[in-house]
Amino acid sequence: MSLEGFTRYMSSSDCLLFNNECEKVYQDMTHPLSDYFISSSHNTYLISDQLVGPSDIWGYISALLKGCRCLEIDCWDGSQNEPVVYHGYTLTSKLLFKTVIQAIRKYAFITSDYPLVISLENHCSPSQQEVMADNLQFILGDALLSDMLDDFPDKLPSPEALKFKILVRNKKKGTLTETRERRHSDKHGQIQEFEEYEESDQEEEEDQVQESESLDVVRDNPEKGTRSRSLVRLPRFRKRRVKVALALSDLVIYTKAEKFRNFQHSRQYQQFNESNSIGESEARKLSKLAVSDFILHTSKFITRIYPKATRADSSNFNPQEFWNVGCQMVALNFQTPGLPMDLQIGKFLDNGNCGYILKPQFLRDSETKFNPNEALQNSNPLTLTIRLISGIQLPPSYSSNKADALVIIEIFGVLNDQVKQQTRVIKGNAFSPRWNETFTFIIQVPELAMIRFVVESQNILAGNEFLGQYTLPVLCMSKGNNPKGYRRIPLFSKIGQSLEPASLFTYVWYVR
């Protein structure tokens, strides 16, 4: 190959690290919804912090353009019988509910054709819930799923079956059959009231529990033929009365919001169309103390994880720990850049950025023995070797026109796969630094692994300065049948903007 030909190859999409086959929808989209990781956002209306920041329609538009498939709307009673959207009991500004729904309808299917879930955090009175139902039906029209599909009366439909449909996630009373029977009836003024369990503890008291709400976990040890018991303690619950307007309740079909109590209760009573929301603190405990039960739960039911209330600055947790146990909807604050959102955006680059990623078989199988916290038996690891050759027009340091450049390569995945390596520092050269360093990673569970390249400028006194990054799934690095080759890694800013032509030049090869 001539020098000119090699230069053209480097600037082409064929040279990019990301496999261009993953830029289109290539996975099987006919599995039930619970078999997919679903791109999800938290408090989507906020574009800053959780206490005094503005609420803005751009929060929804931006999330949808990034491929998000589950939006959250906090709904409260407004003046003149118009429901409003804002973070209750704070100084955040307010949006009209109908304005939010209008924006969602306009941008819902620009990035992805697959179903969009509107998760309602509903604090409205029954009368304003009826207004919400009218707005949803009038604005969304035929895009709103308001009746079960004939082929799916007792199981979750697939993303393929729900293409171009918008689903409402909210509390619901009654069965899908009852909903169908009263589909064309007048529901004005009809209110459903029922009891619901809610956590009674404050954030700092969440470790205090009642014995009756603890989960008694039985673990089998096939090698020793013994059974060990451990108690996973969950927060205390109390009952409260909930009122739901029938008109809004009947718009909830396959995404009924159900309070999570414990895994034993879910196994006995939870229905196929019921989904749970679990706070990150509780979910983190469960992922460590009852990981097998957690994975069994997520193999059957859609589970949404949301940030704890103390994240007033809209910071995010690391979503990887919850993807590792199969949680479908790991909701992040999309307005906050950083490592968690880099992982979120990188993961959902796969499968055409459609917002749905088919979970690995071992997270869909109800008989699975997979445990992300332990060393795997009989695994099929991938050996990944990367020779980091050079940088191409890296962004200069903000404090000078040069940079003391270094590159950090991080693997995120199951516990034994998480590792970080870095290059030496190239002093005063951001334009064309050359490292020629080789790194090898043995990845036990590549199906869940993400790789992140971070370029920094060394600053011993103030801490290293971020220059750019790129994150993608490890299995999206493959180029057809070619397990090795020269690859260019494009760099992105902290807020996700392309820094072209800034990039890294590497040689990659892998064996499995």
In DSSP notation, 133-167 reads HHHHHHHHGGGB--S--TT-SSS---TTTTTT-EE
User: Which of 390, 407, 382, 391 shows the shortest CA–CA distance to 476?
Assistant: 382
The beta-strand segments (E) located in 42-106 are 70-76, 84-85, 95-96
Which residue is catalytic, options 31, 42, 123, 188?
A: 42
47, 59 contact by CB (below 8 A): yes
User: Which of 450, 163, 500 shows the shortest CA–CA distance to 324?
Assistant: 450
16-55: string of b/e by CB count within 10 Å (b at 16+)? bbbbeebbebebebebbbbbbbbbbbbbbbbbbbbeebbb
Half-sphere exposure of 407 (CA within 13 A, CB side): 30
Active site residue 42: yes
The CA-CA-CA angle for residues 209, 210, 211, to 5°, reads 115
Which residue is catalytic, options 87, 184, 188, 265?
A: 87
Question: Beta-carbon neighbour count of residue 223 at 10 Å?
Answer: 6
Active site residue 87: yes
Taking the C-alpha atoms of residue 254 and residue 146, their distance in angstroms, rounded to an integer, is 10
Helical packing angle, 57-65 and 97-107, nearest 10°: 20
CA dihedral angle for residue 127, residue 132, residue 137, residue 143, rounded to 10 degrees: -150
State both tokens at 300: 């059957």
Which residues are part of the catalytic machinery? 42, 87
